[in-house]
A and B are shown apart, each in its own frame.
Chain A
Amino acid sequence: MFRLLRTNAFRLAALYMALFAVSVLTVLVFIYFSTANFVERQAEETIGAEITGLQEQYRAHGLLGLIAAVNSRTATERNEPTLYLLTDPRLHRIAGNLAAWPQTAAIKPGWVEFSVSLVRRGQPVTYDALASVFILNGDYRLLVGRDLRDAAVFRRRVAQTLFWAALLTLALGLVGGLFMTRNVLRRVEAVNRTSASIIQGDFAERVPVTGSGDEFDQLASNLNAMLDQIERLMAGMRQVTDNIAHDLRTPLSRLRARLEVTLLERPDANRYAEALAETIAEADHLLGTFNALLSIAEAEAGARRDHMATVDLDEIARSVVDLYEPVAEERGLKLALDTTSPALVRGDRHLLSQAIANLLDNALKYTPEGEVHLVLRRSNGGHIELEIADTGPGVPAAHREHVFDRFFRLENSRSTPGNGLGLSLVRAVVKLHGGEIRLEDNSPGLKAVMILPAAPERAVVSINRSAA
């Protein structure tokens, strides 16, 4: 319960309760005063009607007529709540149902309020009354009043009713508020419980979704989506770690074995130098794998998304082709380039260069003869398509998705140098740029198609080459 008092939801509920109570009370007070006034105004109206009747008598028959009228009205019990008193100038009673001029009532014309004490049926009664006072010719005075006992009773009853109504409203409000607060708290508590068990290490836990589609459900779905994403990333990380462990362990043990065997051999400076050179080459290969893994992780994490600019894929592709042209010639392959300019995309020049270099590297590496053809074109629908087609052995359809996995290498390519990370990086880069990459049959050969969203034509940014 104390925990409940400390929660924000409870504080909010309490604040609403307070506001609610104030408005209910205001309304009730208003109702009370307007009803009470209504009763008093009714008394005034009744008195006014009596006075009109008496005035007519007075005008028609003079003082005697008035006395007669007063007497006749006071004779019947029916008129009990109405008070009459007619006095001479010295305030001696001439007629009426009051014994004497009330002490608290002023002796001047107008409305007066006073209390009346009298004995009715052997009981002393005191009550409030309202009256109008007139001064007639010859300084005779007339007081016509009304007993306010009914009004007082009515007012008390209204007050009581309103009091209980207020109490009931507040009680209902409090119960409702507590109920709602607890309801909200229970949903928050569910999120808290899930977080706590995830902190404890149970990553499979998810926030329950009630299916009502309300804000809490949306929060729960978003949190779950976030957790799924984190789990995916963690699974990716774990896979990378496993792969690194696996892929680096082999060359590391080879490296270690080489050194050990060299030590066992007869000491020979030349042999040692040779072994060390081989070891350095092996270490360089390891560093290459390591750097490739880091680049992939970086691209996959999307860390470089902030550093994207509008770049010309045509210029990037040309530059990469320029880098690889001698390699193609060396292998007796034709490297053809077919581009359109400008081919603007929003991206990271370094990563795009590396991705195209990896694709080109693969194409050149696995093509024994024929040509490698790089085509850049703008497709309908605001995309830039980069296609690298070779006349090599291609990739069987069943393996076309797997080749993008880390360290995946086709059986017949194991003898070719490479770390099995090139295409993983390509896919990570393409994904980072919001594009897609797929492999197709070039019959014969392989066709890699990279599709990137085109950038708006206007935002042309020149690409600086910082050549020495």
Chain B
Amino acid sequence: MKLLVIEDDREAAAYLVKGLTESGYVVDHAPDGREGLFLATSGKYDALVVDRMLPGMDGLALVSALRAAEIPVPVLILSALGAVDDRVKGLRAGGDDYLVKPFAFAELLARIEVLLRRGGTPLATTRLKVGDLEMDLLARQVTRGGKDIELLPREFRLLEFLMRHAGQVVTRTMLLENVWDYHFDPQTNVIDVHVSRLRHKIDRGFDHTLLQTIRGAGYSLRAN
């Protein structure tokens, strides 16, 4: 998997390149918008990590230019602007995800992973399956090993998100944003409580724990 990091701050760029390289990606770096756009149009990257404020060409303009040229590469926008409407602007320009600085590297990694696997599970699907756990989206039923599992609506939504991103690391922030549509950090680790209740329902009485805690990052639903 090949990534392009477009970031003007040299130290931040070095940190990103090192971290991503150690996570197993092949990473190129462009220090400004113009060079970034030039490299990105080559089409040899699987995802872009674009800083919003760039010399030469603004990050949002870069993404718009890519989309205008019909280059569908997934783009994660990094920004120091964290207001909800800044986020909306970023996504409207053609970004696929938006991460506010400063961020935890695990958060970035998890989001890149999600971007790279995008299109794995079609949205229109009606059945999700992870190991022996199955979800019927139409009947809104969940079974594991043929046994029915009763879930509250919020637990169902949480599990659906985890199943759609099975095998990937999903952070607490991602769950808050995608399942509850909240863009703030609750002081108490509310998400942990939700996840532990869900785990209790889907994993109790089974040998294999599907819903795993990834230390320092979040959770992952894994079949093996």
Contact = CB atoms under 8 A, between A and B. Distances in A.
Interface of A: 277, 280-281, 283-284, 287-288, 290-292, 294-295, 298, 303-304, 307, 319, 322-324, 326-327, 330, 350, 353-354, 357-358, 361, 364-365, 417-419, 422, 465-468
From DSSP, what is the main secondary structure of chain A's interface residues? Answer: helix
Given A303-B83, A323-B180, A353-B182, A290 B190 contact: no
Interface size class of chain B, counting residues whose CB lies under 8 Å from the partner chain: 20 to 34
B211 to A, nearest CB: 15
Interface in B178-199: 178-188, 190, 193-194, 197
Interface stretch (B37-45, B52-60, B156-164, B202-210): B156-164
B193 A326 contact: yes
Given A281-B216, A304-B84, A319-B180, 13 more contacts: A277-B216, A284-B104, A288-B185, A291-B82, A291-B184, A291-B185, A298-B83, A304-B83, A307-B85, A326-B194, A350-B84, A465-B181, A467-B181
19 contacts: A277-B216, A283-B104, A287-B104, A288-B185, A291-B100, A298-B83, A304-B85, A323-B182, A323-B186, A327-B193, A330-B193, A354-B184, A357-B186, A358-B187, A361-B186, A361-B188, A418-B187, A422-B187, A465-B181
Interface in B138-185: 154, 157, 160-161, 164, 178-185
The 6 closest A-B pairs by CB, nearest first: A468-B178, A354-B184, A326-B193, A468-B161, A361-B187, A327-B193
A209 to B, nearest CB: 38
Contacts of B157: 467-468
A281 B189 CA distance: 13
B27 to A, nearest CB: 22
Contact of B181 (A281, A287, A291, A466): A466
Contacts of A467: 157, 178-181
Contacts of A417: 187-188
A364 B188 CA distance: 10
A323 B185 CA distance: 12
B33 to A, nearest CB: 26
A350 B103 CA distance: 20
Contacts of A304: 83-85
B119 interface: no
A417 B190 CA distance: 13
Given A291-B82, A307-B85, A326-B193, A365 B188 contact: yes
A468 B187 contact: no
Most interface-central of A281, A357, A365 (chain B CB within 10 A): A357
B102 A295 contact: no
Contacts of A350: 84, 182-184
Nearest to A324: B190
Interface string B68-109: 000000000000001111000000000000001011100000
Given A277-B216, A280-B104, A330-B193, A295 B184 contact: yes
Contacts of B187: 288, 358, 361, 365, 417-419, 422
B154 A468 contact: no
Contacts of B215: 277
A270 to B, nearest CB: 13
Contacts of A358: 187
Contacts of B178: 467-468
Contacts of B179: 467-468
Interface in B9-36: none
Contacts of A465: 181
Contacts of B182: 323, 350, 353-354, 357
A466 B178 CA distance: 7
A374 B27 CA distance: 51
A281 B187 CA distance: 14
A357 to B, nearest CB: 5
B83 A468 contact: no
A294 B83 CA distance: 9
B104 A323 contact: no
A420 to B, nearest CB: 10
A323 B197 CA distance: 12
Contacts of B185: 288, 291-292
Contacts of B188: 324, 327, 361, 364-365, 417
B84 to A, nearest CB: 5
Nearest to A425: B184
Contacts of A291: 82, 100, 184-185
Contacts of A357: 182, 184, 186
Nearest to A280: B216
A87 to B, nearest CB: 107
A242 to B, nearest CB: 21
Contacts of A283: 104
Nearest to B193: A326
A468 B184 contact: no
Contacts of A324: 188, 190
A323 B190 contact: yes
Contacts of B197: 326
A319 B181 CA distance: 10
B216 to A, nearest CB: 5
Most interface-central of B85, B104, B164, B181 (chain A CB within 10 A): B181
B87 to A, nearest CB: 10
B195 to A, nearest CB: 10
A290 B102 contact: yes
A380 to B, nearest CB: 33
A292 B164 CA distance: 31
B171 to A, nearest CB: 11
Nearest to B80: A294
A361 B186 CA distance: 8
Nearest to B123: A468
Given A324-B190, A327-B190, A467-B179, A294 B184 contact: no
Most interface-central of B186, B193, B197, B216 (chain A CB within 10 A): B186
A332 to B, nearest CB: 13
Nearest to A322: B154
A288 B83 CA distance: 15
Contacts of B154: 322-323
A282 B84 CA distance: 26
Nearest to B191: A323
Contacts of A326: 190, 193-194, 197
